[in-house]
Amino acid sequence: MKIVLDDISGKNNLYPFTATRSVADIRVGILTIREKWEKLLDRKIDTISELTLNDSESKEVEQISANIIPSQQWLNAFLLRQNITDKNLEYPWHIFQNNDMALREDFELVCSGRTSALVSSTNKLVASENIFSEEGAVMEHCILNATEGPIYIGKNALVMEGCLIRGPVAICEGSVVKMGTKIYGATTIGPYCMAGGEIKNSVLFSYSNKAHDGYLGDSVIGEWCNLGAGTSNSNIKNTAGIVKVWVQDNNEYLPAGIKCGLLIGDYSRTAINTSFNTGTVVGVCCNIFSEGFPPKYIQHFSWGQEEYKLEKALLDIDNWKKLKGKTITPEEIKILTDIYYSQKIRNA
């Protein structure tokens, strides 16, 4: 039996993150959904959006929703045809809401049966049996408390002196945590990200920067984003009421729970001291600056209150990528061009 992931049915509700990627490539926990499946099955895995099946193949293929967060327990029950409750990503706020569970499951999946690299004695470790460091990670004079959840430090990550980390937390491969950063669970600092200030219950996908002081809580940050110095978000209303979040496919605000911060799509950036209201949704390729709070919904390709022209946006993305030794790819240009002109049609 071959398993493929159905990336079609549940994709639209996960705006803005699925504007530029498959549902399977959303990061929750240490790994993306696709990476979880590949570790569980020990092979590469396709999605329906990438695969055309002929009649003979379709009889041997099991289609599973890409929105499901897989685990060894879920897979075992599925193979035995036993009933088990699916852990789904139906809306974007479900990413940070499920991150605690996903971090614990991924920690077991990634670290079980392995021995952690040596952690320098200059660090203070609490519940060290729940702390795993990959080879090449550098960390000195930090405090890590894994009493309430595991802490994973990825390959070649740099955790600078004075950082305070309380699990469950993942600091993924090649990421940098700057001096004096405070990270609460359940937080994922994705590969090649930069983290600073105060972060709580948030997911940074990869190659994004939240490098300065400011608060990020109950939030999801896409790839290649940059939060300017002092950028902060509110994650709970002053009334402690239900936070409502814009869902593009429904064309309405839906309840997301008591806490929800910032949901920001790929390639978007904020000016210094930007302050976001609870439940703010930012699209792809936005440059955010304003007096007072930005709107709670900012559509793709916004430059302040104006349109971010496609040619300018692509040039600026390439400039930002060069800072991390990368350049914009033809595939990215095609995806972003399609998003830009599709939005023009919608707005016409």
pLDDT tens for 192-244 read 999 999 999 999 999 999 999 999 999 999 999 999 999 999 999 999 999 99
| SS3 state of residue 44 | coil
Closest CA to 260 of 282, 277, 248, 284: 277
d(CA 150, CA 144): 10
Instruction: Please give the model's pTM, rounded to 2 decimal places.
Output: 0.94
Q: What is the overall mean pLDDT for the chain?
A: 93
Bridge partners (DSSP) listed for residue 51: none
Closest CA to 171 of 187, 149, 147: 187
Q: Minimum mean pLDDT among 175-179, 237-241, 257-261, 343-347: which range? A: 343-347
d(CA 319, CA 325): 10
Residue type, 124: K
pLDDT (average), residues 256-274: 97
- Flag whether pLDDT at 129 surpasses 50: yes
Q: Give me the pLDDT at residue 4, please.
A: 87
Q: Give me the pLDDT at residue 265, please.
A: 98
Q: Give me the pLDDT at residue 55, please.
A: 44
d(CA 21, CA 50): 12
Q: Give me the pLDDT at residue 60, please.
A: 74
Q: Give me the pLDDT at residue 58, please.
A: 55
DSSP 168-213: SEEE-TT-EE-TT-EEESSEEE-TT-EE-SEEES-EE-SS-EE-SS
Q: Give me the pLDDT at residue 140, please.
A: 98
pLDDT (average), residues 318-323: 97
Closest CA to 265 of 284, 287, 251: 284
Whole-angstrom CA distances from 254 to 92, 193, 315 are 11, 30, 35
Q: Give me the pLDDT at residue 56, please.
A: 42
Closest CA to 198 of 238, 166, 161, 151: 166
| Cβ pair 309, 285 in contact under 8 A | no
pLDDT band at 90 (very low <50, low <70, confident <90, very high): very high
Q: Give me the pLDDT at residue 1, please.
A: 64
| Cβ pair 187, 203 in contact under 8 A | yes
pLDDT tens track for 44-56: 887 765 444 444 4
pLDDT (average), residues 249-272: 95
**73 or 122, higher pLDDT:** 122
Residue type, 111: C
pLDDT (average), residues 295-301: 96
Nearest 10 degrees: Cα torsion 175, 186, 68, 75: 90
- Flag whether pLDDT at 327 surpasses 50: yes
- The angle at the Cα of 245, spanning 241 to 247, to the nearest 5 degrees, equals 150
Question: Could you tell me the CATH superfamily of domain 217-348?
Answer: Hexapeptide repeat proteins (2.160.10.10)
Domains of the chain, by residue range, sit at 2-90, 92-207, 217-348
Q: Give me the pLDDT at residue 59, please.
A: 61
